Amino acid sequence: MIRFDSIRVTFDGFTAIHNLDLHVEPGEFFTLLGPSGCGKTTALRTLAGFVDPSAGDVFIDGRRVTTVPSDKREVGMVFQNYALFPSMSVWENIAFGLKVRRTSGAERDRLVEDMAARVELSGDQLHKKVSELSGGQQQRVAIARALVLKPKILLLDEPLSNLDAKLRHQLRGELKALQSDFGITTVYVTHDQDEALTMSDRIAVFNKGRVEQVGTPQEIYDASASEFVCNFIGDSSSLTPALIHRLNELARRSQLDPARLSYLRVEKAALDLPGRSDHLHDDGSVTVSGRVTARNYHGQHSRYTVRLDDADIKVLVKEDGRHGPGLGEEARVRINPAHVLQYGATG
């Protein structure tokens, strides 16, 4: 559906995107994820036709659109701040593109009302000013305005980033539901990993103008392809060479390379019941004992820091009423070496 072919974007000597190759399937909810300044928005704007790449090509539905003006690319866009026109009513906002295309009056009325119904905007709301709508309603107007032109692709540029946390959660669901309802190929830009993991079919993680990994949310999380992806998404503890050695000794099948950078996701470590330490379980995991150096209470759970050899391992423990070990006490941590993520050169 969408193909970026060796796209390179430079601004005044600064290379925002180095050599981007991406492929988005029809109907997919595809997310460009990364920290600010990583090039994700530039990639989206290149697709929209607001940025001219200095090399490479963009294809939409097999057609090369690199030099095609943005309104001829059949893409709809929802902007970060929605960019609703404040001088017009909700109805006029949605009808704007149709009017520019000189769609006949009757047809225009039909299309606008039809679209408004699909995004659940009432007739009453259609004649309000956009400033009189709530954040959620404004988002629906922005989506309706983009979709009424029947684009092949919907582009969303961090549409939830300016909202407060509660509204953000609510609109996230609403947005995803609308997308699956319309079945439209969607490219979504965000810096919020939570948003990316819950909404996307596939994610491309950007860093410094390059794509570090493309995959499903689970692939990105459980099998992060690079140290950057591992650190950017989720939370993990860094394992030291000494601890890796010990894991290798205990779990005879495990052959982790101590010279590489090693991480363990916090929820993959667990506190074991008191008993025999330093032993191997049937599932291949091992129990290692250490001492609790810190405990942060979060209500639903606590986050323990346990010193194993010279490594500080973070462990999440559900606060289900049972007493965990106290500060300075011994704690036994269960780790499966298969969950350890390793990066960097060997040797």
DSSP 36-56: TTSSHHHHHHHHHTSS--SEE
Q: How far apart are CB 270 and other proteins at their closest, in Å? A: 40
Residue 134 to residue 215: CA distance in whole angstroms: 35
Residues 6 or more apart whose Cβ sits within 8 Å of residue 219: 213
Give which of 48, 63, 44, 54 is closest to 14, Cα–Cα: 54
Which stretch in 6-14, 128-136, 243-251, 253-261 sits in contact with other proteins by CB under 8 A? 128-136
Task: End-to-end CA distance of the chain: give it in Å, rounded.
Answer: 43
What is the gyration radius of the CA atoms in the chain, in angstroms?
A: 25
159 binds other proteins (CB under 8 A): no
Q: Which one of residues 9, 22, 43, 48 is an interface residue with other proteins (CB under 8 A)? A: 48
Q: Which one of residues 36, 131, 218, 255 is an interface residue with other proteins (CB under 8 A)? A: 131
Q: How far apart are CB 144 and other proteins at their closest, in Å? A: 12
Q: Which one of residues 145, 246, 265, 268 is an interface residue with other proteins (CB under 8 A)? A: 145
Q: Which of residues 175 and 315 has its CB atom nearest to other proteins in the complex?
A: 175
Residue window 66-105: x/- pattern of binding to other proteins, with contact defined by CB under 8 A: ---xxxx--xxx-xxxxxxxxx--------xx--xx----
Q: Which of residues 7 and 146 has its CB atom nearest to other proteins in the complex?
A: 146
CB 26 within 8 A of CB 185: yes
Residue window 1-40: x/- pattern of binding to other proteins, with contact defined by CB under 8 A: ----------------------------------------
Q: How far apart are CB 146 and other proteins at their closest, in Å? A: 8
Q: How far apart are CB 66 and other proteins at their closest, in Å? A: 16
Which stretch in 10-18, 133-141, 259-267, 305-313 sits in contact with other proteins by CB under 8 A? 133-141
CB 209 within 8 A of CB 19: no
Instruction: Please write down the long-range contacts of 317-321, taking CB distance under 8 Å and 24 or more positions apart.
Output: 317/271
52 binds other proteins (CB under 8 A): no
CB 211 within 8 A of CB 204: yes
Residue 63 to residue 73: CA distance in whole angstroms: 9
DSSP H helical ranges for 105-240: 105-118, 123-126, 135-147, 165-182, 193-199, 217-222, 227-232
Residue 178 to residue 159: CA distance in whole angstroms: 14
Q: Which of residues 132 and 181 has its CB atom nearest to other proteins in the complex?
A: 132
Q: Which of residues 83 and 338 has its CB atom nearest to other proteins in the complex?
A: 83
Q: Interface residues with other proteins (CB under 8 A)?
A: 48-50, 69-72, 75-77, 79-87, 96-97, 100-101, 129-135, 138, 145, 149, 162-163, 167
